[in-house]
Structure 1
Amino acid sequence: MNAALTLRERSEAEASRLPPLLARAEHLAGTVLLGDHGRRRSGLGDDFWQYRPAQIGDSRRMIDHRRSARGDQQFVREREWQIAQSVMLWVDQGASMRFASNKNLPTKGDRARLLGLAISILLVRGGERVGLTGTTLPPRRGNAQIIRLAQAWSGDVQDDYASPEHRAMIPRARAVFISDFLGPMSEVELALTKAADRGVRGVLMQVLDPSEESFPYHGRTVFESVGRTLKHETLKAGALRGRYLERLAERKEALQQLCRATNWQYGLHHTEDSAQAALLWLYRALDGSLR
């Protein structure tokens, strides 16, 4: 009975986070859309997009004679690209993502969920299909899918580090992975390798707390994982700083090399920085991979 009550309380607490998360994601997505014309481009489709001057290589059938008759230059009538792309997302919900070094900072998980949901909103408004990696939530269009994503990201994983989902990768789709990527590197390598084998390209965004970059610890310090499965006590924390920063730099370089090898893009975001700037970079990076 107590276990059932505890589960219900946790479920209600998680559900209560949905409306604020959705509202923040909608607001964040709106700031990027202001002054932006979306992802429109020429290609296969039925709707008129724009006229452009004829170029070498254009066939005579492409010339719009009615528009060209208005002057001395020939013009081509372009249609709007209308092929929807499937974009699969993985947002880390492991215990390590619940870390924040300061009460005035969001946790890594909160920032990751916000960015994941906001980029999903932008993609859906651009006519794309979005969903989760794996089989639980295949890519779909529409606002209802945004709510499903918010619900899927409302919970947490108890393990210290979650592994990227690599099952059911849709061939030639696109993907977004958001995590601190401080867990086993072999799992990330497996996921991106499998993605590359199926022609999936995407964006990997590493989210870190500023203290994870600076290691501002001295003297006696107890280091404990958020999931409380790992613990280390030292009397000279400052002596660990150099070795820690070296290993962090090695991890970043390994992630960047993996992205280069698999034709993905790597981005780094700190929770003290603007979520809007991170979303804009993510949007542009993913937009480039969709072309």
Structure 2
Amino acid sequence: MKPAAFEYHSPTTAEEAVTLLAELGEEAKIIAGGQSLVPMLALRLAVFDHLVDLRRPAELRGIEVGPDSVRIGAGTTHATVGASPEIRRAVPLLSRATPLIGHFQIRNRGTIGGAIAHADAAGEYPAVAATLDAEIQTLSPRGRRTIAAAEFFTGMWSTALEPDEIVTAIRFPVRHGRSGFAIEEFARRTGDFAMAGATLAVQLDADSRISHCAIGLFGLAPTPVRARETEAELLGRPVAEVVAEDIGASATAGLHAIPADAHGSAEYRRRLGTAMVARAWRRAVQEACINGSPA
């Protein structure tokens, strides 16, 4: 099939884009990389009278690395994120998640802002944003605002964005010291959406006790979620006393809206999630311990 007819708009600035959205109303839709929207248009699962393309505004692209945070423009492609040595050093979890997104053709066109705004519950970037307590920067005709990742994802493919608002950048905090990061996911084929996945960040103090822990889960709820009760229980514990399998079971125990479909039951996905958390825990802790070793 082919998309229904639409009028194409190509603004040169972000301000021009949000002005168009406000003028055109609900019949307009933003298109960034188009890797999610174009297939839906082609199958006529979505129909819009106007498409507002965000490829031209240069202000929406680029990577800015500071001592305590990294700001990535919403129009920056997955491939650019994955190839950046600065991101590999400052936000390793984001760098490691990138190769898991689709195929290289998708990563060459897809953008980080598009992935965040699309808010797929099985998507890697939304899970990383939630795990790292990222901040989503936005623009509308009313001005700019910053939304915490914990408040940004509101449901399946839905966010806190207003209809005339766009994502302009995502800010990721940088963790120093004895830190370790990992992402694990299970998909039936390379490039498929994950049936279950886990993102993990852990930090150890000088006595090898857990001073920070963040456990993200994706593909297991309508939005990416954090296992906050498990995280709280881990704080202050000697890392050597923690059993990975126990962490996996604890992290998935409180999930009550696990999807079920032809690919697997809710219980099957829970078991996958438990295993993914355990694997990610081992990898993240190993890295944190290595980072704390003498050179």
The TM-score by the shorter chain falls in which range? under 0.3
Q: Which one has more relative contact order, counting CA pairs under 8 Å at least 6 apart?
A: 1
Greater Rg by CA: 1
TM-score of the superposed pair, with normalisation by structure 1: 0.24
Q: Which has the higher helix share?
A: 1
Q: Which has the higher strand share?
A: 2
